[in-house]
Amino acid sequence: MSLLIISGVTIRMAGRTLLNLADLTIDPGRRIGLVGRNGAGKSTLFKAITGSVTLDDGTIRLASRAKLSYLKQEAPSGPQSLLETVLAGDEERNALMAEADDPNTEPMRLAEVHDRLYTIGADAAPARAATILAGLGFDAETQLRPVDEFSGGWRMRVALATALFSNPDLLLLDEPTNHLDLEATLWLETWLAKFPGACLLISHDRGLLDRCVDSIAHLDQTKINLTPGGYDEFVRIRTERAMQLKSQAEKVAEQKAHLQKFVDRFRASATKAKQAQSRIKAIAKLPQIESVIEDSVTRFNFPEPLDLSPPMLSMEGVSVGYDGKPLLRTIACRIDMGDRIALLGANGNGKSTFAKLVAGRMEAMGGKIFRNGKLKVGFFAQHQEDELIAHETPIDHMQRALPTATIQQCRSQLARFGLDSDRASNKISALSGGEKARLLLALATRDAPQLLILDEPTNHLDIDAKDAMVRALEAFTGAVLLITHDPSLVELVADQLWLVGEGTVRPYDGDMDEYRGYLAERARITGRPAGRGDATGMQGKHEVRKKQADNKSQINALKKIAKLAEEKLAKLTEEQKKIEAVLANPTIYQPHRMSDMISAKTRFSDIARDIKAAEAAWLEAEEALEAAGA
């Protein structure tokens, strides 16, 4: 018996037909990857399956009593702990336990409730929930903290844990690795391999699709076509089919041309009229070969940077951190033109902090940093999407970023990443996640940087766009520093692996297969996911526990420091303006006012120093608050 039947489904959204008489059947235990271009309707289909989108035609039927679990894109919130939040996701268990605790439950019903609780393994549920949370990066102490203490990305991990925990018959996962680090992604692959239920998975990660599904459902031209095997097999079959259809179409076209030539030559001839009519009928009977309509190839094109002599950037004995406490120490590294570096390590170990240090967005706490004076850095981070202005267009953003450029130059930079004139003129609020990612890439590379720092660059890009990025990076002559949860992207792009962990950054000599083995061995020895940092991003067990114990009080203290620094900045800036006005008055420089002039200049220098210190204090407090998820 089938678990889910999608029959003749048509869905129209905003005047577009996303699905037209589409069909798909999912049997128990099947693992199907759902692929298609951005905007094809993959997420809309998920919403239709869950009932939150109305069908224009057709039916979607879930088997009777089948349990469905859907990874929602809304992050959970509230004062309850992570463990309580995940446990609350199993509605059946919660309802049964409420009945079991109700003194008014009849004895016969109570016996049924206890039998069902035993069947679903209710007693083991807390341990199972804790195991899933641990796999996604939350240690035992962290699992007891309130959800509201975590940033959006970490809360999305809780949403994923909730979806996995409910033990459904059918699991719907829409880009489940977007908020995971590489270690958690590898754990999820292992979990899915053991999951006994059926799964429909949307992902741009070709490796995940190859390792975790047995079929590919391709949503293309409003239809769903099912192909057996993983993504590589899907590409092979699709390519062979396209070549076969092309060959057939060429043979038919050749026959048609030969017959048409006879018709054109002898149609007017009385002696050949019958033969010409016969061939006209033969042309009409030629088979109609299904057309292979290929989408336009996605192309990315990074601007060519100015060449720099080595080293482009180097560090020696560098430390960096927050609130006066180093997160990373004794960093010694070098980056040159052409380097392709991927950072490994769990979220919270300091990958993003190191990236900000390299980009010049954080000051070192110690050590030496050499930076070529002509070095330009392009920084892409997915959270920058929040900084886009909803009512403006990509053109507006690019013109502001390139104030001296012409409108055509701005359009050309956007076109490098597939934002044509129509999409460049749309409001940000109307763009898809993939289109916003393309805009951020265009903005990050507007100055032709020699160093590209890419922090999760493919989260909202479809597979074709990701392939286009890989091709563009291959042609890019500058250096790349990559942070990604996608193992296949690391394998395709990087020729150096740097491990961020244990409070430092160091080269990793193995490849990704060896790194998987390293993680598995660490997990076997320690009994927990290997390389796992905690969600606060601080190093050392003692420091973690101390921070967790008084997390709220520290956050309040940091907020107070930031507020006081901000108030001090305002006062100093006001006083600085007054002294500037005094120094701008020519009379201050007359001989009899020499002492006043010296006093004003001395005070002006003192204020400038105090402003710098206040700005540093404010910045440290804000970065510490960000690191704490506040």
For residue range 111-121, list pLDDT tens digits in order. Answer: 888 888 888 88
Model confidence at 92: pLDDT above 80: yes
Q: What is the pLDDT of residues 539-583, one digit of tens each?
A: 333 333 334 444 555 666 667 777 777 888 888 888 888 888 887
Q: What is the pLDDT of residues 230-270, one digit of tens each?
A: 888 888 887 777 677 667 667 767 777 777 776 776 666 65
Question: Region 585-612: what's the mean pLDDT?
Answer: 75
* Mean predicted lDDT score pLDDT of the chain: 83
pTM: 0.66
Contact (Cβ atoms closer than 8 angstroms) between residue 200 and residue 171: yes
Contact (Cβ atoms closer than 8 angstroms) between residue 381 and residue 458: no
The whole-number pLDDT of residue 303 equals 92
- Higher local confidence (pLDDT), 237 or 370: 370
Looking only at the bridges linking them, the beta strands covering 16-26 and 4-13 are antiparallel
Question: Region 414-439: what's the mean pLDDT?
Answer: 88
- Higher local confidence (pLDDT), 542 or 592: 592
Highest-scoring range by mean pLDDT, 3-12, 177-186, 201-210, 459-468: 3-12
Contact (Cβ atoms closer than 8 angstroms) between residue 463 and residue 492: no
Model confidence at 421: pLDDT above 90: no
The whole-number pLDDT of residue 558 equals 67
Q: What is the pLDDT of residues 429-465, one digit of tens each?
A: 888 788 888 999 999 999 999 999 999 888 878 788 8
The helix (run of H) or strand (run of E) holding residue 456 is none
Q: What is the pLDDT of residues 267-319, one digit of tens each?
A: 666 555 666 677 676 767 666 544 444 455 578 899 999 999 999 999 999 99
The whole-number pLDDT of residue 385 equals 82
Counting residues of the chain whose pLDDT is more than 90, the rounded percentage is 35
CA-to-CA dists, residue 573 to 474, 584, 599, 611, 614, angstroms: 48, 16, 18, 8, 11
Question: Region 221-230: what's the mean pLDDT?
Answer: 90
Contact (Cβ atoms closer than 8 angstroms) between residue 3 and residue 197: no
| Residue 195, amino acid | F
The whole-number pLDDT of residue 533 equals 43
Question: Region 359-367: what's the mean pLDDT?
Answer: 93
The whole-number pLDDT of residue 317 equals 95
Which homologous superfamily does the CATH classification assign to the domain defined by 313-538? Answer: P-loop containing nucleotide triphosphate hydrolases (3.40.50.300)
Any residues with CB less than 8 A from the CB of 477 and at least 6 apart, and which? Answer: 304, 305, 307, 337, 338
Tokens 């059926």 — which residue?
A: 198
Distance CA 476, CA 12 (A): 40
Quote the Cα angle for 330-332-337, to 5°. Answer: 155
Q: If one looks up domain 1-66+169-255 in CATH, what number appears?
A: 3.40.50.300
